[in-house]
């Protein structure tokens, strides 16, 4: 098996690489040559010989001398001469002494001594070595990347034992439960092998970014007290052929040396996506993927290596990865529920000073759908906002502001916009708010504002949904109406539409498409999963399926838009009232909003 690998590698030694190198070398020398020649010409006119400088000094013609620490090249400004000259001083210390005696004698010489700056002139010796040095560096780099440099560290690995424990991972109780078996295996492999128990070689973690996949992988290593070797799939995507595969090999060589250990491959979809076509980058990925499969099949159960991999796009993965003996165990890491969010907030506020009025429960309630990383981010932002507000400790308002900052971006009160834009924004936001007020499945409005935030001109915030596992079709339809309420109000009141609705439209389109292609909510097309299907797979559902799907998505959107218009026409008085209030106060909170409807 290993012989095979070697052959593969030889084939991959690219001739093109060497040609590229020679070309780079020639260009480099040429560019440097021109640069130096030009510089020399300019320099020649401005150079003042050292002996001449001494003469000028004794004549009292020197007005200013500028020197940089560690540089023998100085700048000299003579009286009545505009242009500064450059002189190379054989010995800076004795030169400074000389100048100082001149000053003591009554000469008015301004001596400026600057620390050496980045822009300091490159000493000429270095310049002549520069091309060689650059070439050397290039060669070393390439050799290392090719994996020929013997002990070259080619991948980013954290072989340090991590201190992260399961206690640092909030929520995810069932997932941790599943992981305990792995921890025990890493600690006492004999116990398991004696029993003939089959331990998974590979575990795939599925979940949105920021849900704690890396964290839990580290915690397993931390609990088992074994090294954690990690690598990100995107690092394998390289410009030189064969490199990805050789990196995989090195990764596993290292793992064998350090076993028992955890190998963590983040973003595995970058290498493990379906092997479909045969062209370019795909082929490179295939080699990398094949190498990964070879390595995973290669190590025996006596070698205590557990490979953990993470992805947020499980549907992209090559099925070969999921076969027995490879990543045959899959664990979904969900976005945290209410209890999970509360625990995450607790963990990340351990080292922060919270004011008495802070109620983590209510913040957890307000942040449905947030990931662990986002919650951590909110607490960090809150600390910054508290500092800005000169608060003693983090207050509830700081955290609420942080939530808004993370969701809609930073408030930009400074941005000036015209009366016309303001009116448009006011009607747009009022449109969202009024429409959703009349939609039973939509949550209450929490705040409406026309103060720009992030890229948004204004925003309508809703009270957070309680955690739900299922969303009904009605709810999704009404969500579409609420999203299009902004655009509908613009059309209705100003009889013109703007770019301000682009994000709403993007979100609405995605929801409508998911309804049809993922959740089977179209009456005409039925409960079929059309997502991520190859053209030939689509064919089996009949002719022109793409057109039919498109038509269904369009119908959903059109119907929702019309419904938004209807609702706003019906409640035009409320729309006007709220838009006017926004123009006056810029922001309306929950209570004020409710008052309009009493």
Is 506 among the residues known to form the active site? no
Q: Does 447 sit near Zn ion (CB under 5 A)?
A: no
Ranges within 365-394 binding ligand ADP (CB under 6 A): 372-373, 376
The nearest distance, CB 210 to Mg ion, in angstroms, is 8
Please identify which residue in 146, 162, 214, 436 interacts with ligand ADP, judged by CB under 6 A: 214
Quote the distance between the C-alpha of residue 18 and its chain's center. Answer: 34
Task: Evaluate whether 426 touches 581 at the Cβ level (below 8 Å).
Answer: no
Ranges within 504-523 binding Zn ion (CB under 5 A): 504
Q: Does 209 sit near ligand ADP (CB under 6 A)?
A: yes
Task: Evaluate whether 349 touches 303 at the Cβ level (below 8 Å).
Answer: no
Is the CB of 242 or the CB of 486 nearer to Zn ion? 486
The nearest distance, CB 337 to ligand ADP, in angstroms, is 11
Q: Does 171 sit near ligand ADP (CB under 6 A)?
A: yes
Is the peptide bond between 260 and the residue preceding it cis, with omega within 30 degrees of 0? yes
372 binds, among Mg ion, ligand ADP, Zn ion, none (CB under 5 to 8 A by kind): ligand ADP
Q: How many helices (H) and strands (E) would you count in the chain?
A: 23, 12
Q: Does 273 sit near Mg ion (CB under 5 A)?
A: no
Stretch that binds Zn ion, among 316-324, 335-343, 499-507, 547-555 (CB under 5 A): 499-507
> What span, in angstroms and rounded, lies between the C-alpha atoms of 56 and 63?
10
> What span, in angstroms and rounded, lies between the C-alpha atoms of 367 and 342?
10
53 binds, among ligand ADP, Zn ion, Mg ion, none (CB under 5 to 8 A by kind): none
Q: Does 477 sit near Mg ion (CB under 5 A)?
A: no
The nearest distance, CB 337 to Mg ion, in angstroms, is 20
Residue nearest to Zn ion (CB): 486
Quote the distance between the C-alpha of residue 307 and its chain's center. Answer: 24
CA atoms within 13 A on the CB side of 240: 21
> What span, in angstroms and rounded, lies between the C-alpha atoms of 557 and 88?
76
> What span, in angstroms and rounded, lies between the C-alpha atoms of 355 and 570?
46
Task: Evaluate whether 305 touches 182 at the Cβ level (below 8 Å).
Answer: no
Question: Can you name the residues that pair with 264 across neighbouring β-strands?
Answer: 230, 308
Pick the catalytic residue: 295, 376, 401, 429?
429
Q: Does 490 sit near Zn ion (CB under 5 A)?
A: no
Q: Contact letters (x/-) for Zn ion, 212-231, by CB under 5 A?
A: --------------------
Q: Read off the tokens for 535.
A: 């053209």
Q: Contact letters (x/-) for ligand ADP, 272-311, by CB under 6 A?
A: --------------------------------------x-
Query: 414: which DSSP letter?
Result: T
Quote the distance between the C-alpha of residue 89 and its chain's center. Answer: 51
Residues 215, 217, 221, 223, Cα dihedral to 10° = 70
504 binds, among Zn ion, ligand ADP, Mg ion, none (CB under 5 to 8 A by kind): Zn ion
486 binds, among ligand ADP, Mg ion, Zn ion, none (CB under 5 to 8 A by kind): Zn ion
The nearest distance, CB 214 to Mg ion, in angstroms, is 3
The nearest distance, CB 501 to Zn ion, in angstroms, is 5
The nearest distance, CB 310 to ligand ADP, in angstroms, is 6
Q: Does 268 sit near ligand ADP (CB under 6 A)?
A: no
> What span, in angstroms and rounded, lies between the C-alpha atoms of 355 and 125?
62
Residue nearest to ligand ADP (CB): 372
Is the CB of 163 or the CB of 413 nearer to ligand ADP? 163
Kind and range of the H or E run holding 553 = helix 545-570
> What span, in angstroms and rounded, lies between the C-alpha atoms of 62 and 102?
10
- For 162, the 3-state DSSP assignment is coil
> What span, in angstroms and rounded, lies between the C-alpha atoms of 594 and 598?
7
> What span, in angstroms and rounded, lies between the C-alpha atoms of 152 and 130?
23
207 binds, among ligand ADP, Mg ion, Zn ion, none (CB under 5 to 8 A by kind): ligand ADP
Stretch that binds Zn ion, among 114-122, 207-215, 230-238, 498-506 (CB under 5 A): 498-506
Q: Contact letters (x/-) for Mg ion, 206-245, by CB under 5 A?
A: --------x-------------------------------
Residues 16, 18, 19, 24, Cα dihedral to 10° = 120
Q: Where do contacts with Zn ion occur on this chain (CB under 5 A)?
A: 486, 504
Q: Where do contacts with ligand ADP occur on this chain (CB under 6 A)?
A: 169-172, 207, 209-215, 310, 344, 347, 372-373, 376
Active site residues: 429
């Amino acid at each position: 098996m290993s012989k095979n690998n070697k052959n593969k590698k030889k084939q991959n030694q690219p001739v093109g690489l060497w040609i590229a190198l020679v070309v780079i070398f020639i260009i480099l020398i040429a560019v440097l040559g021109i640069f130096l020649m030009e510089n020399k010409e300019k320099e020649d006119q401005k150079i003042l010989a050292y002996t001449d400088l001494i003469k000028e000094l004794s004549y009292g013609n020197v007005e200013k001398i500028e020197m940089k620490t560690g540089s023998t090249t100085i700048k000299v400004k003579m009286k009545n001469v505009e242009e500064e000259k450059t002189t190379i001083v054989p010995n800076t210390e004795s030169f400074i002494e000389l100048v100082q005696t001149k000053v003591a004698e009554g000469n008015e010489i301004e001596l400026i001594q600057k620390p050496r700056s980045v822009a300091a002139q490159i000493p000429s010796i270095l310049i002549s070595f520069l091309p060689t040095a650059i070439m050397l560096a290039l060669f070393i780099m390439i050799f290392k990347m090719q994996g020929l440099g013997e002990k070259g560290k080619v991948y980013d690995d954290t072989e340090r034992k991590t201190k992260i424990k399961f206690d640092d991972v909030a929520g995810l109780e069932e997932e941790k439960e599943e992981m305990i078996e792995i921890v025990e295996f890493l600690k006492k492999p004999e116990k398991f092998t004696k029993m003939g128990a089959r331990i998974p070689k590979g575990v795939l973690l599925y979940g949105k970014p920021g849900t704690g996949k890396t964290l839990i992988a580290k915690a397993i290593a931390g609990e088992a007290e074994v090294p954690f070797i990690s690598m990100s799939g995107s690092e394998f995507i390289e410009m030189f052929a064969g490199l990805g595969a050789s990196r995989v090999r090195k990764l596993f060589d290292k793992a064998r040396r350090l076993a028992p250990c955890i190998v963590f491959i983040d973003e595995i979809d970058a290498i493990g996506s379906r092997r479909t076509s045969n062209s370019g980058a795909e082929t490179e990925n295939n080699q990398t993927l094949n190498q990964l499969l070879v390595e995973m099949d290669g190590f025996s159960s006596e070698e205590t290596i557990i490979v953990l991999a993470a992805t947020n796009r499980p549907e992209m993965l090559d099925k070969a990865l999921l076969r027995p003996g490879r990543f045959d165990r899959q664990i979904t890491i969900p976005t945290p529920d209410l209890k999970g969010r509360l625990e995450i907030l607790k963990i990340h506020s351990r080292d922060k000073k919270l004011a008495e009025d802070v109620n983590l429960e209510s913040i957890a309630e307000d942040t449905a759908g947030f990931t662990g990383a986002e919650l951590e981010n909110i607490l960090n932002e809150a600390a910054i906002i508290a500092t800005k507000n000169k608060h003693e400790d983090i207050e509830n308002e700081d955290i609420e502001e942080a939530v808004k900052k993370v969701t809609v971006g930073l408030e930009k009160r400074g941005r000036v916009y015209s009366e016309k834009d303001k009116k448009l924004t006011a009607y747009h936001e009022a449109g969202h708010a009024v429409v959703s007020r009349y939609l039973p499945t939509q949550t209450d409005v929490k705040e409406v504002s026309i103060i720009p935030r992030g890229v948004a001109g204004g925003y309508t915030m809703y009270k957070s949904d309680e955690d739900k596992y299922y969303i009904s079709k009605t709810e999704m339809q009404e969500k579409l109406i609420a999203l299009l309420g902004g655009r509908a109000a613009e059309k209705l009141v100003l009889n013109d539409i703007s770019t301000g609705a682009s994000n709403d439209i993007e979100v609405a389109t995605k929801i409508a498409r998911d309804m049809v292609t993922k959740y089977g909510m179209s009456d005409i097309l039925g409960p079929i999963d059309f997502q991520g299907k190859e053209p030939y797979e689509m064919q089996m559902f009949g002719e022109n399926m793409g057109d039919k799907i498109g038509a269904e998505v369009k119908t959903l959107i059109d119907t929702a838009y019309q419904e938004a218009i209807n609702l706003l026409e019906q409640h035009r008085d409320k729309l006007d009232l709220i838009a006017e209030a926004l123009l006056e106060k810029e922001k309306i909170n929950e209570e004020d909003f409710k008052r309009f409807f009493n």
